[in-house]
Amino acid sequence: MELRQLEYFLAVVEEGSFTRAASRLFMVQSSLSSALLGLERELGTELFIRGRRGAELTDAGRAFLEPARAALAETDHARDAVAGVRGLLRGSVRVATVAVPRAVDVLETIRRFRSEHPGVRVHVVHDGAQDLVALVADGQVDFAVTPLTRRTTPAVRFEPVLSTPLALVCPPDHRLAGASDVDLRAVVDEPLVDLPRGWWVRELLDGMFEERDLPHHVRLEVSEWFGVLAMIQRGLGVGYGPEACVDHEIFDGLAVTSLADAPDWELGIVTRDENLRGAAGRAFLDAYRQQCRKAADR
């Protein structure tokens, strides 16, 4: 059994398909499939159910998952120890993030970190609907930048980064542009550009409608935050989201209007420190925390 086979196995598990895993690993799918078939022959069992919907783990695959992760983690620790003696920083970092304000965007940390530590591989999971807290709790990522939701568990730690209210986003010529403390009743008949269920910001808005016993008519859903802003910018409706997450440099002209009694969207760093992948993970997290502190001081 080779370490690269374990890396390939985990890539398929995390991506959900051989095609996406091969793309992530910069290799042809046939080579990836051949390596994993060799692993299955060595283990004497199938690890995946291969089908049109992608690759699903068999019972044997699920049993193999945690030992495979542990073996790679120990290998990373060993490599880090050797690199530390040589005064180098290497290894890999996996970070999950939602769309965030530019000042605390993890991409800025990546830009600086890679120039200082070119031997470290950085992987980013970017998804606003996925349960990023669970990815941290399961050890699939080193840390996540995500809002504080009801899904936060005692297995992880939440470090606040910023708090910003839920706000209405309008085209500049809309009747509500420039208003403040808009009552949600004024939005009921508006063509809302919605995010799908599963996004925390959508749950916050749904909660506002339910508390006021108002109907929430879903007419248009977009599964990506920048897509929502682009549609509002083009006059397809009004939208909503965390006030600080409206990027006016990219989407100029949008009007942000406060909602009366709107809940706060709290963003933070979710960690499970014992699962950080060695020195590289710790160093990257420290660099991101420094970026957040600088943003808070401005």
- Of 32, 53, 88, which residue constitutes the final position of a domain? 88
Do the Cβ atoms of 133 and 140 come closer than 8 Å?
A: no
Domain for residue 118, yes or no? no
Output DSSP code: residue 289. H
Helix (H, G, I), strand (E, B) or coil at 93: strand
Cα separation, 6 vs 22, whole angstroms? 14
How far apart are the C-alpha atoms of 97 and 93, rounded to whole Å? Answer: 13
Among 136, 28, 10, which Cα is nearest to 76's? 10
93 falls within a domain: no
Q: Output the six-digit token pair for 87.
A: 């005064």
- Asked if the structure places residue 103 within a domain, the reply is no
Q: Does residue 186 form part of some domain? A: yes
275 closest CA partner among 139, 150, 169:
139
Is 230 part of a structural domain of the chain? yes
> Residue 129 domain-assigned?
no
Q: Clarify whether residues 82 and 168 are in a common domain.
A: no
Long-range contacts of 219-227 (CB under 8 A, 24+ apart): 219/191, 219/192, 219/194, 220/191, 220/192, 220/193, 220/194, 221/194, 221/195, 221/196, 222/193, 222/194, 222/195, 223/129, 223/195, 223/196, 224/128, 225/98, 225/99, 225/128, 225/195, 226/99, 226/250, 226/251
Does the residue 145 lie in any domain? no
Give me the phi and psi of 169, to 5 degrees please.
-120, 125
Residues 84 and 177 in one domain: no
Return the axis-axis angle of helices 59-85 and 3-15, rounded to nearest 10°. Answer: 120
Contact between residue 240 and residue 184 where contact means Cβ atoms under 8 Å apart: no
pLDDT tens-digit profile, the chain (298 residues): 788 888 888 888 888 888 888 887 878 888 888 989 999 999 999 998 887 767 888 899 899 988 988 888 777 777 666 665 555 456 778 899 999 998 999 988 998 888 888 888 888 888 776 788 888 887 788 899 999 887 777 778 899 999 999 999 999 999 999 889 999 999 999 999 999 988 999 999 999 999 999 999 888 999 889 999 999 999 999 999 999 999 988 888 899 999 999 999 999 999 986 556 567 888 899 999 999 999 888 7
Look at residues 88, 112, 138 and tell me which one is the last residue of a structural domain. 88
pLDDT tens, residue by residue, 40-84 = 999 999 998 887 767 888 899 899 988 988 888 777 777 666 665
Residue 208 resides in a domain: yes
In terms of residue numbers, what domain contains 32?
1-88
pLDDT at site 127:
78
pLDDT of 267 reads 95
| Per-residue model confidence (pLDDT) at position 83 | 61
Rounded Cα distance between 33 and 193, Å, is 41
What is the rounded CA–CA span in Å between residue 206 and residue 215?
A: 9
CA dihedral over 103, 105, 110, 111, signed as positive or negative: negative
- Coil, helix or strand at residue 175: coil
3-class DSSP assignment, residue 29: helix
Domain with 207 in it: what CATH number? 3.40.190.290
CA atoms within 13 A on the CB side of 158: 17
- The CA distances from residue 214 to 7, 62, 85, 174, 203, in Å, are 50, 44, 63, 22, 15
Distances (CA, A) of 45 to 31, 55, 59, 98: 19, 15, 10, 37
pLDDT in the model for residue 7: 87
Q: Where is the domain boundary, 54, 88, 122?
A: 88
Nearest Cα neighbor of 2 from 29, 54, 41, 28 is 41
Number of domain units in the chain: 2
pLDDT of residue 71: 85
Whole-number pLDDT of residue 167: 95
